[in-house]
Amino acid sequence: MYSKIQSASVLGINAFLVEIETHLDNALPNFIIVGLPDSAVKESKERVTAAIKNSGIPFPAKKITINLAPADVRKEGSAFDLPIALGILSAINIIPPESTESILFLGELSLEGALRPIHGALPIAYEAKKLGFRAIALPESNANEAALVDDIDVLPFSSLLQIVNYLNGNESVEPRVVDKYKIFEESQFNYNLDFADVKGQQNVKRALEVAAAGGHNILMIGPPGSGKTMLAKRIPSILPPLTLDEALETTKIHSVAGLLQNNEALITVRPFRSPHHTISDAALVGGGMNKIKPGEISLAHHGVLFLDELPEFARNVLEVLRQPLEDKKICISRTKMTIEYPANFMLVCSMNPCPCGNYGNPYQECTCSPGQIQKYQSKISGPLLDRIDIHIEVPAVKYQELTDKSSGERSEEIRKRVIKARQIQAERFKNYKNIFKNADMGSKEIRKFCQLDEKSQEILRIAMNRLALSARAYDKILKVSRTIADLENSEIIKPHHISEAIQYRSLDRGFWH
């Protein structure tokens, strides 16, 4: 007795087809799963056996062999429970073999036969559509995300018995329909935090506006309680809204990571990830001993990665950021495979100016020695700092500013200016591959789009000599000045644009000296 059921598994943020072959022999009762299953797949035989029995279906007293093809690729997760159970039931004619044709099945089974949610339903639905399947059958909790894919029926089920009845024609199930365009339009600007909540810090707000407009990475340096974290959490509210393609890609990553809430369909706001400084390098960039999962940098894709108290992170953790900051992706290599996750995020960091946090604070005396301050600064490597375009000082908030009852500028107004600047950049780089905003420019593009007049050149020359700026800092200043000019809808970079950009190099200007 033999049957074949189609299922799928996830690799990176994409999926691949897995055929569940079932063979029953008249031998001593046994249950074997082959085809490189991980421990979760091996344990599925206990769940499948109990689920079939508790659904009121007799379990065959035979030798059962399950093969997961292709046999040379490791299979992970509990999504194979349902197709394995259906393979057994098809082999003993509880369900007609032809009823499972052109349907892809996936789902975890509880011991009583209920279906539980799985990871990666959205990329699997995309793969099912690409391979020409008529429908995909999966747990009710995953139906909304899978229904984002057009031209394939998404059949939601709550139990094994319900699927058996459906395949035997005894029960009907309505395909799940989700209007992704309506969801996208209705919840694009669903932010609870607003820049108007922040008292004072006008210079810092301006720097964050410039960073958002050009996609520049930014480092905020200031004493405790000056508002660094409060400002960082509001950055997504001034970024341009996600496009539908970006929203779908972001949802894919969160689906694979298992971070979508039950029945959540589409992530429509830019992610904001703020890992604790005790995070490991694998948790930050992705990986794992057995099951490879996307890390914080991929979960922040198309959004913001905020590293609070930057020097408190382990040195090796910070160093692994260098490659994804350049490549906008991360490749994780294992013995038999390489997995690639997207990682195009805006890096926002904050730090105290010294271990006690009061260096430069007019209201509190710093108790740190020059050696302690230098050691604290050296925890962040030069190559990582070179990848941060803007360094801005965040001073302690004055009493007058804290008690000022007038409301600051709302995020909506700032976002309008940011969107206009991004539109200028989109037009500028429309014929360039992998360049979408000013922060993405290389040396060639900087020479073409960041030309200066004589007065601007003189200002930059003086700054380079007095501050001993590096060649990379020179490029950063030009890129940031180009963004400032875009915010003013200026085709040329003017002297005051260059002057403002130079002010955003606190560390180069000897902040600690």
Tens-digit pLDDT profile for residues 288-326: 777 789 999 999 999 999 999 999 999 999 999 999 998
The residue ranking higher by pLDDT, 51 or 406, is 51
Residue 213, pLDDT > 80, answer yes
What does each C-alpha distance from 296 to 138, 211, 286 come to in angstroms?
Answer: 28, 21, 7
- Residue 303 makes CB contacts below 8 A (sequence gap 6+) with 236, 239, 250, 270, 271, 272, 273, 345, 346
Tens-digit pLDDT profile for residues 267-290: 999 999 999 999 999 999 998 777
- Range list for CATH 3.40.50.300 in the chain: 202-240+272-403
Burial of 245 (0-12, 13-18, 19+ CB in 10 A): exposed
Tens-digit pLDDT profile for residues 342-378: 999 999 999 999 999 888 777 788 999 999 988 998 8
Strand-pair partners of 104: 6, 136
Of 150-164, 221-235, 336-350, 375-389, where does mean pLDDT reach its minimum? 375-389
- Residue 411 makes CB contacts below 8 A (sequence gap 6+) with 191, 193, 194, 195, 196, 234, 237, 238
Average pLDDT (90-115) is 97
CA nearest to 512, candidates 246, 313, 311: 311
| Mean pLDDT of the residues in the chain | 93
Residue 58, pLDDT > 90, answer yes
Average pLDDT (62-74) is 94
Whole-angstrom distance, CA of residue 247 vs CA of residue 244: 5
The confidence band for 508, taking pLDDT boundaries of 50, 70 and 90, is low
- Range list for CATH 1.10.8 in the chain: 432-513
Average pLDDT (218-231) is 93
Q: What is the pLDDT of residue 103?
A: 98
Q: What is the pLDDT of residue 187?
A: 76
- Range list for CATH 3.30.230.10 in the chain: 2-178
Region 2-178: CATH code: 3.30.230.10
The confidence band for 215, taking pLDDT boundaries of 50, 70 and 90, is very high
Whole-angstrom distance, CA of residue 66 vs CA of residue 309: 51
Q: What is the pLDDT of residue 333?
A: 86
The confidence band for 513, taking pLDDT boundaries of 50, 70 and 90, is very low
- pTM, two decimal places: 0.92
Average pLDDT (412-422) is 97
Tens-digit pLDDT profile for residues 386-411: 889 999 999 988 877 777 777 789 99
Tens-digit pLDDT profile for residues 465-490: 888 888 888 999 999 999 999 999 99
According to DSSP, residue 88 is labeled H
Do the beta carbons of residue 392 and residue 353 sit within 8 Å? no
According to DSSP, residue 324 is labeled H
Three-point CA angle 158, 251, 5, nearest 5°: 45
Domain covering 202-240+272-403: architecture: 3-Layer(aba) Sandwich (3.40)
Q: Output the 3-class SS for 129-197.
A: HHCCCCEEEEEHHHHHHHCCCCCCEEEEECEHHHHHHHHCCCCCCCCCCCCHHHHHHHCCCCCCCCHHH
Residue 497, pLDDT > 90, answer yes
The confidence band for 512, taking pLDDT boundaries of 50, 70 and 90, is very low
Q: What is the pLDDT of residue 510?
A: 54
CA nearest to 102, candidates 178, 65, 153: 153
Tens-digit pLDDT profile for residues 225-247: 889 999 999 999 999 999 999 99
Assigned CATH topology for domain 432-513: Helicase, Ruva Protein; domain 3 (1.10.8)
Q: Three-state SS for 41?
A: helix
Three-point CA angle 41, 43, 47, nearest 5°: 105
